[in-house]
Amino acid sequence: MLSLDPTFALALNIALTVAVIAIGAGSLISLTRPATVLARADRYSMKARLPYGTDAIRASVARGLRARGLAGGAAILAAGVLAVPFLFTALGTDPLFIFYVLVTALVAGGTIATVAVNLRERLFHPAPDAPRVARARRLGVGDYLGAARSLLPWMLFAAAVLAFAVLVAVHAVGATTLDRSAATAAVVFAVTAVASFVALPVLDRLILDSPQPASDTLELAWDDTLRADALGALRLSASIAAWFAFAFAIGTLWTAADASSAYWATQMPTWGMIALQFVYPNNGRALRAPLYPDWLSRPVLAGGAA
Q: Quick: pLDDT tens for 6-47.
A: 899 999 999 999 999 999 999 999 999 999 999 999 999 999
Which one-letter DSSP state was computed for residue 197?
Answer: H
From first CA to last CA, the distance across the chain in angstroms is 56
Q: List all residues 6 or more positions away from 179 whose beta carbon is below 8 Å from its beta carbon.
A: 1, 252, 255, 256, 262
From the list 85, 61, 83, 68, the residue with the least C-alpha distance to 27 is 68
Please state the domain extents for the chain: 6-124+139-291
Q: Is the pLDDT of residue 297 over 50?
A: yes
Average pLDDT over residues 87-111: 92
Containing 143, the helix (H) or strand (E) segment is helix 141-173
CA atoms 37, 39, 40, 45: torsion sign: positive
Q: List all residues 6 or more positions away from 176 whose beta carbon is below 8 Å from its beta carbon.
A: 170, 256, 257
User: With a threshold of 0.85, does the pTM exceed it?
Assistant: yes
Q: In whole angstroms, what is the distance from residue 261 CA to residue 263 CA?
A: 6
